[in-house]
Amino acid sequence: MGELALVVTERIEYKVIEADGEMEIRAYPRIVLATVYALSDNDAFGILFEYIQGHNRSKRRISMTVPVISSERIAMTAPVISTDKSFSFVLPSTFTAETAPEPLDERVRIEAFPERRVAVVRFRGRANYETVSRKAAELLAFVRARGLEPRGKPFLMRYNPPFVPGLLRRNEVAVELSS
């Protein structure tokens, strides 16, 4: 997998529309994802890390952007961005689906997503099954209490590399909202 030099140079910029404690409703810009489906987080991470380290047709290194998005830790759900278990790296905002380096590994898919509204609940610590499931239930209750309709199922967004101590980690459970 090469050296594990995770340097984050970009974070998705979003606009907070409404905030209530750890809950927010946000407007997200267009994003482009490099995604691997149907593998464990560890396996998918390795494949995507190789892709951004230059294992692509142009041999171009790509800066790490956060968050990392996955569906693996939320039982019986899939993220809005997929219909199956997935793990995604957000590509820097300078890329479109057409200008992103072409993956050499056929398991990496480049996908573009339009602007959208997303409800989010923030939390610190490890993103274990129990915590993520509880946060997903809290988020859906927040959404429905405001008369909003979720579009798809909740997904997990992680902002820190695996070596960051648990209590310092930033995580979010999110769900896309219908217009």
pLDDT attached to residue 33: 95
pLDDT attached to residue 160: 86
pLDDT attached to residue 64: 85
Going from N- to C-terminal start, the domains of the chain cover 8-177
pLDDT, one tens digit per residue, over 46-58 is 999 999 999 999 9
- In this predicted structure, the answer to whether residue 39 has a pLDDT above a threshold of 70 is yes
Map 73-127 to HEC letters.
CCCCCCECCCCCCEEEEECCCCCCCCCCCCECCCCCEEEEECCEEEEEEEEECCC
Other CB atoms within 10 A of residue 59 CB: 10
pLDDT over 70, % of the chain: 87
What's the sign of the alpha-carbon dihedral 31, 33, 38, 43? negative
- In this predicted structure, the answer to whether residue 19 has a pLDDT above a threshold of 70 is yes
Other CB atoms within 10 A of residue 69 CB: 24
Which architecture does CATH list for 8-177?
Alpha-Beta Barrel (3.20)
pLDDT, one tens digit per residue, over 132-150 is 999 999 999 999 999 999 9
pLDDT, one tens digit per residue, over 89-108 is 999 999 999 999 999 999 99
- In this predicted structure, the answer to whether residue 163 has a pLDDT above a threshold of 90 is no
Query: Which range has the worst mean pLDDT, 1-5, 15-19, 132-136?
Result: 1-5
